[in-house]
Amino acid sequence: MKKIISVLSAVCLLGAGAFSCGFKIKESGTSLTTGCKASYLMDFDSGECIFKENEFQRIPIASVCKVMTLTLAMDAVKEGKISLTDTVTASDNAAGMGGSQVFLGSGCEYTIDQLLKSIVVCSANDSCVAISETVAGSEDVFVAQMNKKAEELGCKDTLFANCTGLPKEPQYSCAHDVALMFSNLLSHENYFNYSKIWLEDFAHPDNRTTTMTNTNKLIRKYSNCDGGKTGFTNEAGFCLAATAKKDNMRLISVILGADSSDNRFKSTVNMFDFGFANYKNKIILDKDITLNDKFSVSGGKKDDFEVCPERNSYVFSAIDKSPEVTFSLTAQKVKAPVEKGQIVGQIEVFKDGILYDTVNVVSAENVQKADFGDNLVNIAGEWAI
């Protein structure tokens, strides 16, 4: 059984807030535009939109579709279906893929780790097909799973026809959906083990070596960028989904249909710069700081114990606004023993009166169960009274 304990006063309120889309740049007074077919800029933690252009327009996204290929593969690793150390024998089908590739040898064995790295770094089509055949048995089944995952994520304007993004009808997505899919991929921390690699050799078992160069130039040219997925076909134009982090804020940018490779990178940098200059993510719950409120425990060697948030919580906001942030703390009835890290309640975070985030509350310490001697002391104390 739970009960509302208090409106939290243990954490300081923000000094900034509010959101907008389709804004104008305050410094120059001119509209922020990209000149591309579609674009989207959002905060990673909250999912709040900062900027959008034709965000639901269904258009080809070329190799950016590998965001979903990587997602399914990393989901499979997380769920234990495959391991990074597992070996995969490249099929004739995989080795025969055209376009960007790492030149897998038919019948040669590669690890899942190698294949994922080559997809992230150099957009290897052959590795995508090898991964799809390993995870789902065939590329067709894998593509069906890609579409199912997109639907689960709320991507209503996305349809995949293959796992590579090579031209094939019908297939399309939109800037909004790409942002959702890329955000989901970034929840896999292992992704960043690959995404920050600029140059690396790919060793084949037949003693060949392929040098991989990251297709995302912002890894070297923009200090805050630590991930991204490029794409290009004549039909799709130049595309890029990228992420950058500064202080507490991670942004996700999507550019679709740029007229040149340089423009997709320049437009992405412009959006990142605007987001970092005009918005911030204020930490309002710190997992390393205990709350003022202690929780009661029955049957323990002590009557109460300290608690803390299970994770950090942030409120994303414009730097010149001050939203009202309030908290409601809910406690469970707890009996000893209590283990440090045990979930014992929840904090609801409200922004301007609207539920914004819900964070578990965990015990910050161990509480041992009272033994016979402790109970005797308690009884004696009661008689003394």
What residues are labeled active site? 63, 66, 123
Question: For residues 6 and 328, what is the distance between their CA atoms, to the nearest angstrom?
Answer: 6
- The two structure tokens encoding residue 109: 């064995």
For residues 229 and 66, is the Cβ–Cβ distance under 8 A? yes
> Kind and range of the H or E element at 88?
strand 87-89
Residues 6+ apart with CB under 8 A from 86: 111, 112, 134
Decide if 118 contacts 127 (C-beta within 8 A). Answer: yes
Question: How many other C-beta atoms are found inside a 10 Å radius of the C-beta of residue 71?
Answer: 22
C-beta separation of 161 from 171 below 8 A: yes
Angle between helices 66-78 and 125-136 (to 10 degrees): 40
In one letter, which amino acid is 84? Answer: L
What is the distance between the alpha carbons of residues 358 and 364, in angstroms, rounded to a whole number?
Answer: 18
What is the β-pairing status of strands 109-111 and 304-305?
unpaired
CA torsion angle 228 231 237 239 (round to 10): -10
The token pair at 293 is 């409120």
Question: Angle at Cα 200 formed by Cα 197 and Cα 202, nearest 5°?
Answer: 125
Separation CA 254–CA 236 (nearest Å): 13
